Amino acid sequence: EAQVTQNPRYLITVTGKKLTVTCSQNMNHEYMSWYRQDPGLGLRQIYYSMNVEVTDKGDVPEGYKVSRKEKRNFPLILESPSPNQTSLYFCASSPRTFGEQFFGPGTRLTVL
Amino acid sequence: AQSVTQPDIHITVSEGASLELRCNYSYGATPYLFWYVQSPGQGLQLLLKYFSGDTLVQGIKGFEAEFKRSQSSFNLRKPSVHWSDAAEYFCAVGANTGTASKLTFGTGTRLQVTL
């Protein structure tokens, strides 16, 4: 089944404890992206990647890192999480830059 | 920079009634426009998209949207709403700068359907 998977789905952590949210797609898509969703703010793009080893900042990149070493994986790294990063995170992939984006199920992160 | 405005935060309609969700965008060139739906606790699903050509776009689940360049709008419509359409709807605009790729979402409209 074609899909985007994210792990973990739910995570509660404490300030400053490094964490990684994984994202994997099995559709051989070139384009991948991370968003955060906050009430009243919609979805805001954190980082995106147009291909392996090609990443760029979105609207709200501060406090986040990404890497794209393989086509299928696009992990989101929070090196020192803070409470303002408590949010619902979505990973998405697309066969091309402006094609349909396929979204993962989301990761709900709480930083205490 | 592009932006999207969804002026209605929350809309309530009766089942069987028609629906129109508003979306206005700001972008200097020809935009790529999308509507996504998010059911409670779920990810986002694409309803329809506009890249070029016919300004009336048909999507899944009986939805359609019309691109009006003069009004910078891309409103979503459905002639008869079903209770299962209750969800949050997001309009998005994609920008193509040649070297950058950016999808900007609106803040969403929550649709409630009364029986």
Is the CB of A43 inside 8 Å of chain B's CB atoms?
Answer: yes
Chain B contacts in chain A segment 49-68 (CB below 8 A)? 50, 56, 58-59
Chain A contacts in chain B segment 59-88 (CB below 8 A)? none
Instruction: Encode pLDDT of A15-31 as tens digits.
Output: 999 999 999 999 999 99
pLDDT per residue as tens, chain A (112 positions): 889 999 999 999 999 999 999 999 999 999 999 999 998 898 999 999 988 999 999 889 999 999 999 999 999 999 999 999 999 999 999 887 666 789 999 999 999 9
Is the CB of B31 inside 8 Å of chain A's CB atoms?
Answer: no
Contact B101 A98 (CB under 8 A): yes
pLDDT per residue as tens, chain B (115 positions): 788 999 999 999 999 999 999 999 998 777 889 999 999 888 899 999 998 888 999 999 999 999 999 999 999 999 999 999 999 999 999 876 555 567 889 999 999 999 9
Q: How far apart are CA A90 and CA B47, in angstroms?
A: 18
Q: What is the SS3 string spanning A39-105?
A: CCCEEEEEEEEEECCEEEECCCCCCCEECCCCCCECCEEECCCCHHHCEEEEEEEECCCCCCCEECC
Measure A87 CA to nearest chain B CA, in Å: 13
Is the CB of B105 inside 8 Å of chain A's CB atoms?
Answer: yes
